[in-house]
Chain A
């Protein structure tokens, strides 16, 4: 289908009053939750998934789009005003943004990050709209063995290639894969790892795992080291508006950040950390004001923020066209699709174009709403940041358990939530990355069924994996990506954890 016609059709879906309302609610909730310290976009989506149970799929996906972008805007506000990046992708923003806020230039820092995110988000969403149909045409020819190989690439790149330690990253991934085995095997109907507990037959819920690891784990971790740090909220002083000089210094970093963010996000390598740090170091090299870097340079906020948003839109390319999540946030979006029995991929573009293109169109709308909402409401978000820590974390835990209680009020499910919380705490303490667990859980069963389907078609001949040129190439890439961190030191600079 022609991209313009499809997009116009999607716009017609997205501007229906109810859908606009869903987008607005999503943007608002996403920002409000994302602005809380320690809560990144992945947890924001996980916490708000239960709220959308009762909506129709179209409306709730549009709401997700708003939550996704809103959560990211909220995260950068926190990074600038209290220097606690909720996710490692906001680390570069926190570096310069917090210095700007300390120097009384918090307003322009928030403004350049909001406008930069808008510019990057819009360009990247255009990229998504044009790249997706092309990739879909390509992906319809994929056999199950090609999908399996592609998932192997994603497994390796999210866990081993860019982490601090490939061993710890792979450990996280395999824990996720093991959790993914729990429940009834879809091909033979046999129960695996259920230990006779009926609640386990349905498998481990992705939301329970994510909320346990991210929310409960984070609360336990922050509580355990409360005596180390005192968070300080920087008041927003002076004008919110950017001066002419600020504009002049911001627009090029926005565009360069977008150019880093979108392609890297769209590759199945995942994570917004690499483009944000690339953008930061590029701006540092190109700036005419090198003396300001480290003391609050506006380029150091504009570039990484644009890269962050562009890469978030980029991760939607493999998610929507191939069903391949490459970040914890994308994994939560996939869980949102699965909640309605929808499987993203080439088929979804053919069968439910209204839904996919409505979602893409809503990304434009959500982005615009955020630009309009975020700056005038900055006073409200700052007030949310000022909630005393005891009530903040107590409230987060009540909200986190509420989602599980609403979805499945059973002792088994709540005990799993608590156990995953302890696991998240230990993983933070011993520096294991968390995103690979979530991706292993959600992608593991899909990879297994693709592999078994491929082997069933080939009558059990494993050579089928190497006979398809696509699959052989991808498996080769996965192997190289697995061995690279052991051979080349220094890839670990791009820390690949996200929460």
Chain B
């Protein structure tokens, strides 16, 4: 495999669009991350947020909103933020949403009893990336330990040890309170920009 892809870049529309996907097990806080980001950014930077959920407020297909950061070298720089449905049976939807992704935030649930769920979903994510011709070993992935207010909770490093992840950027968050959310977005978007190339 596996080719490194470029973002969507269009000289006529003068825009460069990077796609960030918030991945993770069900109820880990992916939508909560997006809702906080959408609430925090001022109107001039953000577009309308789409939330495609079930009547029980579980994500059915995806959540989405665009962020426009401004103009760089004459090009409008944009990030499109997506979440996936975390419930295990939405495998096909997750694969679809990862199409064209430029970076992933893996939102892990820090609750001690959810270690196995986090690990299983991380492995599924790697499979989904590979099925989209993306090599997960050289792709921007940020591991966000969410729900740091839970007790008992996972120690930082537990997920990395189980999955033998080396050098993965890690953040901590309590997304429901907004803590660590913008930091995570900053880390993943910088990881993406640092790897930006025209090939």
Is B one of A's binding partners?
no
Interface positions of A (Cβ within 8 A of B) = none
Binding site for A on B (CB under 8 A): none
